[in-house]
């Protein structure tokens, strides 16, 4: 069974416009339960990783990739907010 993980792996590599749209479309088709159990935890991890690693001094290319991956993660999250109630998204993202 394939997962949405390959779409998440494309974050920050400039391949993501279609990937984000596909991720949102898959979430919309499979529903709130799928988004909450499968997609939001992955996005939460990507966003937390990007924020945490931005505090470390790194070479410019790696820092740029990190910034683009964060932007892609937040863009995907923005798209999913249109499918889910905002409270559901906030509840899932604020879990530690």
pLDDT 10s digits, 46-81 = 888 888 888 877 777 777 888 888 888 888 888 888
Q: What is the pTM of this model?
A: 0.78
Domain boundaries, the chain: 5-93
Higher-confidence residue of 48 and 96: namely 48
pLDDT range class, residue 17, cuts 50, 70, 90 = confident
> Looking at beta carbons, which pairs linking 36-41 to residues 24 or more positions away fall under 8 Å?
36/84, 36/88, 36/92, 38/3, 38/4, 39/4, 39/76, 39/80, 40/80, 40/89, 40/92, 40/93, 41/92
Interhelix angle 60-81/86-93, nearest 10 degrees: 140
């Amino acid at each position: 069974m394939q997962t949405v993980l390959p779409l998440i792996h494309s974050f920050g590599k400039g391949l993501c416009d279609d990937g984000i749209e596909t991720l949102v479309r898959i979430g919309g088709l499979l529903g709130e339960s799928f988004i909450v159990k499968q997609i939001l935890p992955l996005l939460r991890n990507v966003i937390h990783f990007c924020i945490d690693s931005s505090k470390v001094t790194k070479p410019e290319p790696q820092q740029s990739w990190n910034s683009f991956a964060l932007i892609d993660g937040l863009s995907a999250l923005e798209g999913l907010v249109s499918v889910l109630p905002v409270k559901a998204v906030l509840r899932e993202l604020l879990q530690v």
